[in-house]
Amino acid sequence: MLTKTRSAKSDAERIQEQDIQKASSLNAISEPLINHIYTADPSAHVFDNKIYIYPSHDIESDEPINDNGDQYAMRDYHVLSLSQIGGEVTDHGCVLDVDDVPWAEKQMWAPDAAEKNGKYYLYFPARDYEGIFRLGVAIADKPEGPFKAEPKPIENSFSIDPAIFQNDDDQYYAYFGGIWGGQLQRWASGEYIAEDVYPADAEPALLPKVARLSEDMLAFSEPVQDIQILDEHGELIKAGDNDRRFFEGPWLHKYQGKYYFSYSTGDTHKIVYATGDSPYGPFTYQGVILEPVLGWTTHHSIAEYQGKWYLFYHDCSLSGGQTHLRSVKMAELTYDKHGAINTIKPYK
């Protein structure tokens, strides 16, 4: 195991400097869905025949820009919706604030939502008062909220970026995890250790997590398990394979009987995917869904609406390349006849 050495300038600062230079010359394939606030990390679902998007709400902050993500100082969530592709997008306003989450101190990062029996559940990561990321859940009667948070985080939850998948048998699965600022590396032993130790390049990469949700949607119904991501030889992807190893932002969708597990590669800035035959995996790496966007982070979700598939993602074009001020976007996602996802280039 290795302790990650940091150079004088953080990866985030370096990328932001480059992006501010190139922001004005890029010709994006999609416009921000809204431009009156900054939003990121869009998780999209179709409820009541409308697309609902559950994003992070990016804000200005005095926090330093670093590879821990301190600059992502978000404190609340908004919900967006639209009923027509290319049509008007409604911002339903603030639906949950950190002050209304008893256990959470700060950094309300990438959320997701699920519906069961007419109730809506918002899952979100935040740092607790000990600085440890946990996952919380909040409940609403409508997809657009407002949401009321449970008093405690989900038991045995940790790290960031929850994504909820409803399987055909109406079981719900929570996928989560993120390295570096997302703290997944601190849980390698199963217990929290406040030290950032990573596998060596030739060792298997740190793995994203999954747990089936309980009937009431408020707890894990089983121990947290690893999601295995394999290469073409059936071997676990290695920690030094930065173009393919899991970094953060997991998502699961099903297409033509296969499960597609997709995620961000973090420091190589791609959204990639792997496929398998079960919601637990293993998943075999397949390829790139989205090439790098303007910004240090990339994050996505995938949803089907009225017979077409869409990728929801973010970039920093509206803010001129500022890494902590992102905007959610969407673009059509297509498959070839073998079920391979055609790579999307975010700029022409």
Q: What are 189's two structure tokens?
A: 């032993």
CA-angle at 102, arms to 177 and 91, nearest 5°: 70
β-sheet with 283-290: strand ranges across:
229-230, 283-290, 271-276, 258-264, 248-255
Beta bridge partners of 331: 311
71-100 residues near ligand FUB, rule: CB under 6 A: 72
Task: Residue 93: count other Cβ atoms within 10 Å of its Cβ.
Answer: 11
- If one asks whether residue 263 binds ligand FUB (CB under 6 A), the answer comes out as no
Q: How far apart are CA 334 and CA 102, in angstroms?
A: 42
Options 41, 58, 67, 241, the catalytic residue? 41
232 token code pair: 């073409």
The nearest distance, CB 306 to ligand FUB, in angstroms, is 28
Q: Does 249 bind ligand FUB (CB under 6 A)?
A: yes
Contact between 40 and ligand FUB by CB under 6 A: the answer reads: yes
| 315 scored as a contact of ligand FUB (CB under 6 A) | no
Instruction: Please give the residues from 147 up to 176 whose contact with ligand FUB meets the rule CB under 6 A.
Output: 160-161
How many amino acids of this chain bind ligand FUB (CB under 6 A)?
A: 14
Q: Using the minimum distance from each CB to ligand FUB, give the nearer residue, 270 or 299.
A: 299
**CA diameter of the chain:** 51
Is there binding between residue 44 and ligand FUB (CB under 6 A)? no
Which one from 70, 161, 241, 248 is the annotated catalytic residue? 248
Contacts of 234 (CB under 8 A, 6+ apart): 284
For residue 19, state whether it binds ligand FUB (rule: CB under 6 A). Answer: no
Q: Would you count residue 112 as binding ligand FUB (CB under 6 A)?
A: no
SS (H, E, C) 84-109: CCCCCCEEEEEEEEHHHCCCEEECCC
Would you call 48 a catalytic residue per the annotation?
Answer: no
Tell me the C-alpha distance between 115 and 122, whole Å.
Answer: 9
Contact 206, 200 (CB under 8 A): no
Alpha-helical (H) ranges within the chain are: 11-22
Catalytic: 277? Answer: no
- Our CB check for ligand FUB shows the closer of 42 and 284 to be 42
Supply the minimum distance, in Å, between the C-beta of residue 69 and ligand FUB: 6
When asked if residue 318 is in the footprint of ligand FUB (CB under 6 A), the reply is no
Report the residue from 183, 297, 319, 322 that binds ligand FUB according to the rule CB under 6 A.
Answer: 297
Taking CB under 6 A as the criterion, the residue among 57, 299, 300, 329 binding ligand FUB is: 299
> What does the binding site for ligand FUB look like in residue numbers (CB under 6 A)?
40-41, 56, 69, 72, 109-110, 160-161, 178, 248-249, 297, 299
Question: Which residues belong to the active site?
Answer: 41, 248
